[in-house]
Amino acid sequence: MKTALCTLLSIYAIILLVRVLSSWFPRPYHGPLRIAFDLLYDVTEPLMRPLRKIIPPMRMGMVGLDLSPIILFIVIGILQRAICR
């Protein structure tokens, strides 16, 4: 059980990293890449949305900075340290 949870946390961290990196590119309108983008958003958005309500994205000129992935990475790291030792 402990190993499975540690593995899931690691996989989620990788998915979150891919989501962050994919945000640098425009979302395709159709095709397999659109399905992949939608899947990334479907998996990560349920945890990021509540964090955005607490700490909304910061606007710096025309660029927005969303801190929710950073907070989520910190939470995942804390959970991994607490559970996966």
**Is the whole-model pTM more than 0.95?**
no
CB 51 within 8 A of CB 68: yes
Number of folded domains in the chain? 1
Structural domain that includes position 51? 2-83
How far is residue 71 from each of residues 33, 57, 68, measured CA to CA in Å? 27, 12, 5
Q: How large is the average pLDDT for residues 35-59?
A: 93
Query: Using one digit for the tens of pLDDT, what is the confidence trace for 22-37?
Result: 988 888 899 999 999 9
